[in-house]
A and B are shown apart, each in its own frame.
Chain A
Amino acid sequence: MIESLKNKDLSEMNLNTINLGPTHPATHGIFQNVLTMDGEKILHAESTVGYIHRAFEKLAEHRPFNQITPITDRLNYCSSPINNFGWEMTMEKLLGVQLPKRVEYMRVIIMELARIADHVICNSILAVDTGALTGFTHIFQQREKIYEIYEEICGARLTTNIGRIGGFERDFNDKTWKKIKDFVQEFPKAFKEYEALVNRNRIFMDRTIGTGAVSAEEALNYGFTGPNLRAAGLDYDVRVMNPYSSYQDFDFTIPVGKQGDSYDRYMVRSAEMWNSISIIKQALEKMPDGPYHADVPEFYLPPKQDVYTKMEALIYHFKIVMGETKVPIGEVYHSVEGANGELGFYLVSDGGRTPYRLHFRRPCFITYQAYAKLIEGSVLSDAIITMSSLNIIAGELDA
């Protein structure tokens, strides 16, 4: 409740209560907010979450480790490869598996493509919510190109289940490399045009500057991470703080904003996409030769044709699928910089076939609790913009 109304008798004020959601065309996902409105102004908001809760943490306790990767797809489904690799890296940390540089660089390329895909969605949908459909239809072509690259690598587009514990299931083929190189060439041109359409657009600026602003202290206290925290002015990025997958080999900057409003969040995401392109270029340039997976047959699922023709592969396949391999007892926390912030995996292993406990630190879930506070006192149309710019993904929110 906003401060000035705390002591007033609300029953005399002729207020309306409206449900924004659970299914509302403007919220891009299953979000319910019960709003107490005075005309167009939001006096009080209450978020209800859990509409697509799928009990991932309970499911994970009943699945062998390699079968948890598809669960992580469904967290932030706009950038599933980051979740997949995050989980695989958690397992590799537990098992003490050292990956070849090539695998780490290949992962970096895919993760940065996923980050671009995610930010493209967020930024173009934000523009749509302010009334600019043209940019969105234009830039979505680029997301399609990224999905084609995923398709080439793993056969899937949205829920990718990409990679294995210990590396990739197969090496990138020539077509993949060509598609990645083409994308790095084509995307900057298209994105420049998009930025020319939107960045200094008067209507877009009027709608986003000052809406949903959050200070750095508040953002930190509310547990913001990723672009939302950086827009408020704090340069916390897991890729730099706790480098994983050889991110220390690449040269990139952490863009930060000042106001922490929707426009700053938009600008931070834009700048991050340019950084991602630069990281992909560096990775392509430095790409070392070598195997596409670590030499850990007791954890890395062997290729299917080997399972059918080679005794050893069959034995390891059986052992991995049946949970006969020895897994260390211990607890690991590993985090990656997801598209929306720090995506953490807290894994407790008791040496069994499945995790004893697996907890996902989902950035959207933690960020979204500030949403009701951010929109109180603003008008309804700004509430939509604020949600868009926070990039709340329902899959990650509800887990």
Chain B
Amino acid sequence: MELNNAEYTKVVDALKSRFPNSINDIGVPYETLTLSVDSAEIKNIIAFLASEELGFSFLTDVCGMHYESTDELGVVYHIHNLYTNTRIRLKTRLPKSKPEIDSVTSIFKSANWQERETYDFFGIIFKGHPDLRRILNMDEMDYFPLRKEYPLEDGTRTDKNDSMFGR
């Protein structure tokens, strides 16, 4: 993958030399540097990005994903370096049977509710999170609604057949 941006090359080189086995896939879709990283190393990678050396001091966004084709879950992080105005996207994949990943709340306090939201909707367990409870849904809910297997509407209805309209 050609990185035609000096800042991207610098970040990728630094990450590659520090975590040679954890950076899998590098791309720049729609001008955002996107790395697929090993979920076990995520906390170290984000701590390294947030350190003064690289200066990614702002966690823009944390969100969950459900990759239906491989039936894996994932967490996507968007981190922003406000000095050089570089955005980076980190993508992780987790097995659905054991969706556990380290929490980054100790690095970014803004991750707190965003991780709770991800847990709430995808059931991803953030290890080390100070208060991992549901946030937007009710506490009694026993499923994770943004996973693809949960239909928006009652699956027993037959009067609303959408099969002719795409998905």
Contact = CB atoms under 8 A, between A and B. Distances in A.
B146 A58 contact: yes
B121 A57 contact: yes
B24 interface: no
Contact of B78 (A57, A333, A368): A333
Contact of A369 (B59, B112, B145): B112
5 contacts: A57-B146, A223-B58, A223-B59, A234-B82, A333-B30
A285 B82 CA distance: 32
Contacts of A361: 60-61, 78
Given A323-B166, A333-B30, 16 more contacts: A50-B136, A50-B137, A55-B145, A57-B146, A59-B152, A220-B58, A322-B165, A332-B32, A333-B78, A346-B78, A359-B76, A361-B78, A365-B117, A366-B113, A369-B112, A370-B109
| Residue among A241, A353, A357 having the largest count of chain B Cβ atoms under 10 Å | A357
B89 A333 contact: yes
B85 interface: yes
A50 B63 CA distance: 17
Nearest to A397: B136
List the 8 closest A-B pairs by CB distance, nearest first.
A223-B110, A353-B166, A50-B136, A359-B63, A53-B136, A369-B113, A361-B61, A323-B166
Contacts of B109: 221-223, 369-370
A222 B41 CA distance: 23
Interface in A316-346: 322-323, 330-333, 335, 342, 344, 346
A353 B136 contact: no
Contacts of B89: 331, 333
B108 interface: yes
Interface residues of A, number: 43
A366 B108 CA distance: 11
A195 to B, nearest CB: 31
Contact of A344 (B57, B58, B78, B137): B78
Contact of A221 (B30, B108, B146): B108
B20 interface: no
Interface in A242-286: 242
Contacts of A398: 136
B34 interface: yes
A374 B3 CA distance: 42
A368 B145 CA distance: 23
A168 to B, nearest CB: 24
A359 to B, nearest CB: 4
| Residue among B63, B87, B137, B152 having the largest count of chain A Cβ atoms under 10 Å | B63
B110 A221 contact: yes
| Residue among B76, B78, B89, B113 having the largest count of chain A Cβ atoms under 10 Å | B113
A195 B74 CA distance: 49
A93 interface: yes
B79 to A, nearest CB: 11
Given A58-B146, A354-B166, A398-B136, A333 B32 contact: yes
A40 B41 CA distance: 46
A353 B59 CA distance: 31
B167 interface: yes
A332 B59 contact: no
A399 interface: yes
B90 interface: no
A27 B26 CA distance: 46
B135 interface: yes
Contact of B30 (A58, A59, A322, A331): A331
A137 B123 CA distance: 47
